[in-house]
């Protein structure tokens, strides 16, 4: 097994100590045009943990990720990454701090092969995974290296989308619905990948509809409803909160 650890200690969370807040979101409001979509979002993500945003479709989960990444232009409140206020920063500057966003639609370029898709994003800071490390995580990609994006299965496209951001040097990963539409065996592989990345010091903010999958990888959960965080609890508190989860999510 290839070691995923990086030589540059600053790439493993910058100034954040293990367990300290690496992302702090306070009173976050956001708009699409005239539509007010987030209504005072508050949450933290600590260094080295996996946090999952749960909620029904349209609750504001993806909009929260896009707001952190600076993709939604009209925002108020506070978003701090490693202690730095980033709410006024452009998305490219946020990316250069070590933050990466893997969208639900994956964004694979159909006309490019796997190698070209992998190499397309720029290196934003030192410590990105090498191709050898990426192929150790996703052996399927090595086998399909010369295949065009149109020839990949949904699972292979998801692997490529995650692999692409790991190459850049980002250590804070935001994954939007990574298991959507995938076969159970691929979902299991994605889960193993997330667990391994966490063990190597990556911090992950995850949006998921698949609660059962999220329960196998997340340290903590926040419930999003109508553009607000309405509840939150640790993985160890899941059983005590199952009745509420059924109500919130309809699972």
The three-state secondary structure class of 238 is coil
Give the confidence band of 65 by pLDDT, cuts at 50, 70, 90: very high
Give the confidence band of 11 by pLDDT, cuts at 50, 70, 90: very low
Contact 102, 69 (CB under 8 A): no
Give the confidence band of 127 by pLDDT, cuts at 50, 70, 90: confident
pLDDT above 60: residue 194:
yes
Q: Which pTM value belongs to this model? A: 0.89
pLDDT tens by residue, 176-190: 999 998 999 999 999
Q: What is residue 213's predicted lDDT score, i.e. its pLDDT?
A: 93
pLDDT above 80: residue 76:
yes
Q: What is residue 207's predicted lDDT score, i.e. its pLDDT?
A: 96
Angstrom CA distances, 31 to 11, 67, 77, 80, 228, stand at: 32, 10, 12, 19, 13
pLDDT tens by residue, 234-251: 999 998 999 998 898 875
Fold of the CATH domain 19-106+171-249:
Rossmann fold (3.40.50)
First CA to last CA across the chain, in angstroms?
37
């Amino acid at each position: 097994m290839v070691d995923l650890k990086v030589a540059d200690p600053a790439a493993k969370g910058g100034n954040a100590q293990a367990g300290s807040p690496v992302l702090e979101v306070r009173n976050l409001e956001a708009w699409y045009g005239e539509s007010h979509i987030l209504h005072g979002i508050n949450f933290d993500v600590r260094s080295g943990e996996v946090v999952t945003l749960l909620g029904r479709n349209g609750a504001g989960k993806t909009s929260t990720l896009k707001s952190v990444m600076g993709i939604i232009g009209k925002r108020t409140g506070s978003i701090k990454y490693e202690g730095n206020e980033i709410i006024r920063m452009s998305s490219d500057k946020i990316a250069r701090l070590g933050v990466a966003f893997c969208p639900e639609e994956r964004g694979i370029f159909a006309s490019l092969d796997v190698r070209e898709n992998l190499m397309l994003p720029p290196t934003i800071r030192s410590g990105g995974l090498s191709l050898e490390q990426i192929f150790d995580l996703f052996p399927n990609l090595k086998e399909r290296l010369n295949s065009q994006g149109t020839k990949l299965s949904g699972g292979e496209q998801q692997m490529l989308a995650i692999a692409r951001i790991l190459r850049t040097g980002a250590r804070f990963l935001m994954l939007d619905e990574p298991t959507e539409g995938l076969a159970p065996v691929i979902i299991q592989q994605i889960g193993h990948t997330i667990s391994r990345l966490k063990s190597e010091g990556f911090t992950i903010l995850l949006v998921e509809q698949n609660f059962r999958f999220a329960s196998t990888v997340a340290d903590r959960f926040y419930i999003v409803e109508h553009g607000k965080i309405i509840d939150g609890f640790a993985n160890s508190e899941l059983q005590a909160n199952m009745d509420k989860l059924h109500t919130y999510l309809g699972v």
